[in-house]
Amino acid sequence: MSDNKLIHGLTVKEWEKDIDKYVKINRLHIKVCKYCGAVFWEGKWIEDNINNVIQKIISRKISKLVEVRYPFTLRDYSIKGIEINGKKILLNLLIKVGIDDKYFDVEKELLIETENSICPRCLARKVKSYDTVIQIRGQKGLSRSDLIEVYNIIGSLPTPVKREIIDIKSTKDGIDVLLNDKGLGRYIAKIFERKTGAHVIESYKLVSRKPDGKIKSKLSISVRLPPRDAKFLVRDSRNDLILMYGLSSSGYLAYNLDKEKYIVVPYRVFWREMKEVKDISWRIMRVIGFTKDKVVLLDENDYSTYEATSILSEEFVKDERVSVLEYKGKVYVIKTATLERGLQNGKKEKEEKS
């Protein structure tokens, strides 16, 4: 189009000279959390880089932020730069307006004024207010390996989930994870259940009751990690005696002394059916020799001798002190250090599902 051709009674050069007064930029006011940087917009807090949030706001509200007078219309825009100075954010905009089939570029500055505020999550974190607590416990407190596993699982949670954690408190019995989202509390508990075989139980505590009958309660989620600090004996629903000696992804590696076979006990079966045995104790004896498939032992209290079966196919040496279990006329032997050591991850070739 020729610059001399009239458009609505004026030439292109005349429009270019006065174009600035046809484009007006309105100010924008937003609230920003002074702790986490979340931006409050249209009734909700948005957690993202402030530059990304501003670009999203501009793209959705450009028609209200940029007023273009007739006969021009807004055709396009771009952000050339963002400058943050204290509570003020200055955007350099390149506005493209049109009249008939002619386009004009107009550079304008958009001022965004920010107000320091605090989002609900940071407020809850600051005052330690919560409606959900995940209580992670062990059979006898949390061992060092338990603590490492717990913190590794928490550290591997998705970032949006970790942001919702108000506090992580160490107690004499274990660890408490505080949140303000019951759904996320259940989500985290499910992760512990899947990864560790933990037993999860929910309970509620009444906080207040309003005159209209509505109640406010706190959710407590008990996450009890399965025992793994030592080899231990249990009985199943059939009253079989079982030695738990290792861990796998699907449950405990175990040896059924009644059936004389290796099994895997799923964690859910352990919690539902197994009861720890405390009336059967291990005795200490000394290795004095070997037969084809047995270990010959000496009870130094009464100098009786026994032929024992090695449950875990361990290799013993003469004069070694070992732990011995007598059960139903049979004698089983295991290294004392192995018995006292925490359950180890491993795999037996003879595993079967319990």
Q: Do 25 and 101 reside in the same domain of the chain?
A: yes
Q: Do 137 and 191 reside in the same domain of the chain?
A: yes
Domain annotation covers residue 353: no
Domain annotation covers residue 2: no
Q: Do 237 and 332 reside in the same domain of the chain?
A: yes
Domain annotation covers residue 167: yes
Domain holding 187, by residue range, is 128-224
CA distance 250 to 196: 9
Among positive and negative, which fits the CA dihedral 192, 155, 134, 202? negative
Q: Do 64 and 142 reside in the same domain of the chain?
A: no
Domain boundary among 185, 204, 224: 224
For residue 111, what pLDDT is reported? 86
Q: Do 95 and 175 reside in the same domain of the chain?
A: no
For residue 134, what pLDDT is reported? 95
This model's pTM is above 0.75: no
Q: Please give the chain's pLDDT, 354 residues, in tens.
A: 555 676 777 777 777 787 888 888 888 888 888 878 888 888 888 887 778 888 888 888 887 888 888 888 888 888 888 887 777 888 888 888 888 888 888 888 888 888 888 888 787 777 777 889 999 998 778 888 888 889 999 999 998 888 888 888 888 889 999 998 899 999 999 999 988 889 999 998 887 777 777 777 889 999 999 887 678 889 999 999 999 888 887 888 889 989 888 999 998 899 988 998 877 888 899 999 998 889 999 999 899 999 998 888 888 999 999 999 888 888 999 988 888 777 766 544 344 444
- Mind giving me the DSSP string for 154-173? HHTS-HHHHHTEEEEEE-SS
Asked if residues 73 and 84 have their Cβ atoms less than 8 Å apart, the reply is: no
Residue 335, CB half-sphere, CA atoms under 13 Å: how many? Answer: 11
Q: Do 108 and 132 reside in the same domain of the chain?
A: no
Q: Do 269 and 296 reside in the same domain of the chain?
A: yes
Widest distance between CA atoms in the chain: 122
For residue 189, what pLDDT is reported? 95
For residue 76, what pLDDT is reported? 86
